Structure 1
Amino acid sequence: MTRRLILTRHAKSAWDNPELSDPDRPLNKRGKRAAEALGDWLRRKGYVPDQVLTSSARRTQDTYARMGFDLPAEVSEHLYLVTANQILRLLSQAKGNTVLLVGHNPGLGQFAAEILPEPPDHPKFASYPTGATLVVDFDIDDWSRIAWRGATVVDFIVPRELTEA
């Protein structure tokens, strides 16, 4: 059996209110459009999650909400400012067949690089910009068996490919 992971970095956030703490920053206008476009793209491609994990930061929750899936997210403080190793440990406890994880760099980009034997042929993968979304499959029957270099790339996209096409 296969387990699928959709790994999305939150969409572009607003920096216009210096009074807000980092976890409280919302999406900006471009980020809102990008999140909606990502949700549409995922549905069009048939990449629909049955479990969603987001960090406790507002911008990750806003990103997921704008994606438009009718599934409650599991919000975790443990996904804010985490390392690649911490993401691996969290995912090892996942229960869904297709898990969408919405998080932050640098941990998310590092995790994406570490789960693949080789990166996808995409100029933006190494920087994992806001809204970057990687879809991978693991040939495992349970998330407890997730391992470094164990994923196969299914797809990778950045929002500009969707909003400026």
Structure 2
Amino acid sequence: MDLILWRHAEAEDGVPDLGRELTEKGRKLAARVADWLNPRLPEDIRILVSPAARALQTAQALGRDYTESPAVAPGARADEVLAAAGWPDGVHPVLVVGHQPTLGQVAMQLLAGQRGDLAVKKGAIWWFQGRERGGQLQVVLRAVATPDWL
């Protein structure tokens, strides 16, 4: 199963938190990442998006259908995100558009099997693949990309 974590792009400051929108720069960076992702994403990808405006706007740059999911909202726990994605036994690959520190916590759990935080830059993607080898789950980090590298 593939699991792609995409942190929302740069957003305006302000309150309420869920209403914060992308800046002009954030819109451009989300479009740049979407242009890179789209030809690489499988047709059967499920896209789960935080209900926060900045995450929804980031996902909209893909031009694909998505599902708004409170399980990936600001403040979500890593285990909630993984459960919503169906990791590691899901049938379809999943793209999660969400927030820090949650996405960094998911990445840490996948890479090291422990709690902790990794820094995920605004607009960045982390692409993981879970596969079984010898009856054990192996997690492969396929790609990490930030908008300024694309």
Shorter-chain TM-score range? 0.7 to 0.9
What is the RMSD computed on CA atoms of the aligned residues? 2.4
User: What percentage of aligned pairs have identical amino acids?
Assistant: 27
2 CA distance for matches of 1:139 and 1:117?
16
CA contact (8 A) 1:51 1:95 kept: no
2 CA distance for matches of 1:77 and 1:136?
22
SS in 1 for 2:97: strand
CA contact (8 A) 1:14 1:26 kept: yes
Are positions 1:83 and 2:71 aligned together? no
**What are the Cα deviations for residues 1-27 of structure 1, in whole angstroms up to 9, with x where unaligned?**
xx1111101111012xx4x40000010
SS in 1 for 2:123: coil
Segments of 5+ residues of structure 1 without an aligned counterpart are: 119-124, 141-146
Match of residue 139 from structure 1: 131
Are positions 1:65 and 2:53 aligned together? no
Are positions 1:54 and 2:49 aligned together? yes
Letter in 1 for 2:35: D
Match of 2:140 among 144, 147, 152: 152
**What are the Cα deviations for residues 32-54 of structure 1, in whole angstroms up to 9, with x where unaligned?**
0111111111134x234621000
Letter in 2 for 1:14: E
Q: How many residues align?
A: 141
2 CA distance for matches of 1:43 and 1:89?
24
CA contact (8 A) 2:7 2:122 kept: yes
Q: Specify whether residues 47 and 117 from structure 1 end up closer, same or farther in structure 2 by C-alpha distance, changes over 3 A only.
A: farther
- How big is the shift at 1:95? 5.2
SS in 1 for 2:94: strand
SS in 2 for 1:139: strand
Match of 2:101 among 103, 106, 109: 106
1 CA distance for matches of 2:91 and 2:25?
30
CA contact (8 A) 1:8 1:133 kept: yes
- How big is the shift at 1:117? 4.2
